[in-house]
A and B are shown apart, each in its own frame.
Chain A
Amino acid sequence: MSATNYISAFCRISSGKVNVNHSIMFADENEESSAAFIKSVYKHYQINYPKFYKMDKLCQLAFVTSELLLKDNKITEKYSKEDIAIVVSNSNSSLEIDTEHQKTISDKENYFPSPANFVYTLPNILIGEIAIRNLIKGENTFFIFDKFDAQFTADYVNSLLNSGKAESCIAGWVDYYEGSYDGFLYTVEKTPGVLGIEHTTEQLNNLYK
């Protein structure tokens, strides 16, 4: 029988709301654009990380979601940095910044690709940004799915913890394209933590509605 792992905390940023562990911590449904909303969350929480402004929108969303997730559930202080995994998925990959990059290289007479944009033209860079910020050095993987796959994510992350490849994991779904955004990250631990929800497909589906 496989060991039980737990969703110890979660953060969801979508539809103009920040939901941390079932509490709406910040909301601004009138914000004109998704990018402006993500910036307003960053400013509201007085997160001081100048590199935030250089990130593409997908990474900004992932970064802010991870900051609020880890703010009160400091798994980075509980576990060795090598024992924390990061597993994230989305459906639109890095298409938002890919499109911007494409615009700068499509005209041979006006060919000025931006290096700062180019470095974000892979979706797994968002994992790198979270890892750099928190000095996490554990396993990390990025998947592309049509929609959030609770069963795959639960199975994959449980396998990492049960096989001893990680003691804890930041997992979830971070998607951004054409103004539509959805950041959902949660921590998985072998002990119940703040929320104590069993890390199963059913519970994940309940959490991510």
Chain B
Amino acid sequence: MEELINKLKGEIIEQLNLEDVKKEDIDNDAPLFGEGLGLDSIDALELIVLLEKNYGIKVANPADGKKIFQSIRTMAQYIQDNKK
């Protein structure tokens, strides 16, 4: 799980162009949206694309996004549970 979290942080930094953000700056349990990384609605769409592109996971119900993208840890857990 820790390995996946670390990998995911790198992918998010790259995919979302989070310049000046390092992996160690991202708290595993901090909210991704609003506070924390301060991501916005376009970033949410990018994360959905990232899941599909890198892990083959389709988020069929957008309402699930709120739970999946709560933090890096919840996202990693979702990947672990749904990876094909």
Q: Shortest distance in angstroms between B32's beta carbon and chain A's nearest beta carbon?
A: 14
Asked if A114 is at the interface of the complex by the 8 Å CB criterion, the answer is: yes
Q: Check A53–B17 contact: CB distance below 8 A.
A: yes
Asked if A50 is at the interface of the complex by the 8 Å CB criterion, the answer is: yes
Q: Shortest distance in angstroms between A162's beta carbon and chain B's nearest beta carbon?
A: 39
Please report which residues of chain B, range 21-67, place their CB below 8 angstroms from some CB of chain A when the two chains form the complex: 38, 42-43, 45-46, 49, 52-53
Q: Check A112–B53 contact: CB distance below 8 A.
A: yes
Q: Check A116–B17 contact: CB distance below 8 A.
A: yes
B18, B19, B20, B52 interface centre (most CB from chain A within 10 Å)? B19
Asked if A195 is at the interface of the complex by the 8 Å CB criterion, the answer is: no
When A and B form their complex, what is the total count of cross-chain residue pairs whose Cβ atoms lie within 8 Å? 25
Q: Check B38–A50 contact: CB distance below 8 A.
A: yes
Q: Shortest distance in angstroms between B17's beta carbon and chain A's nearest beta carbon?
A: 5
* Given A50-B38, A53-B18, A53-B19, A116-B46 contact (CB < 8 Å): yes
Asked if B4 is at the interface of the complex by the 8 Å CB criterion, the answer is: no
Asked if A179 is at the interface of the complex by the 8 Å CB criterion, the answer is: no
* Contact residues in A for B18 (Cβ distance below 8 Å): 53
* Contact residues in A for B49 (Cβ distance below 8 Å): 112-115
- Over the window 46-81 of chain A, the binary record of Cβ atoms lying under 8 Å from chain B Cβ atoms (1 yes, 0 no) is 000010011000000000000000000000000000
Chain A: interface size category:
under 10
Please report which residues of chain A, range 109-125, place their CB below 8 angstroms from some CB of chain B when the two chains form the complex: 112-116, 119
Q: Check B52–A119 contact: CB distance below 8 A.
A: no
Q: Check A115–B42 contact: CB distance below 8 A.
A: yes
Q: Check A54–B16 contact: CB distance below 8 A.
A: yes
Q: Check A116–B19 contact: CB distance below 8 A.
A: no
* Contact residues in A for B42 (Cβ distance below 8 Å): 54, 115-116, 119
* Contact residues in A for B46 (Cβ distance below 8 Å): 114-116
Binding site for A on B (CB under 8 A): 16-20, 38, 42-43, 45-46, 49, 52-53
Binding site for B on A (CB under 8 A): 50, 53-54, 112-116, 119
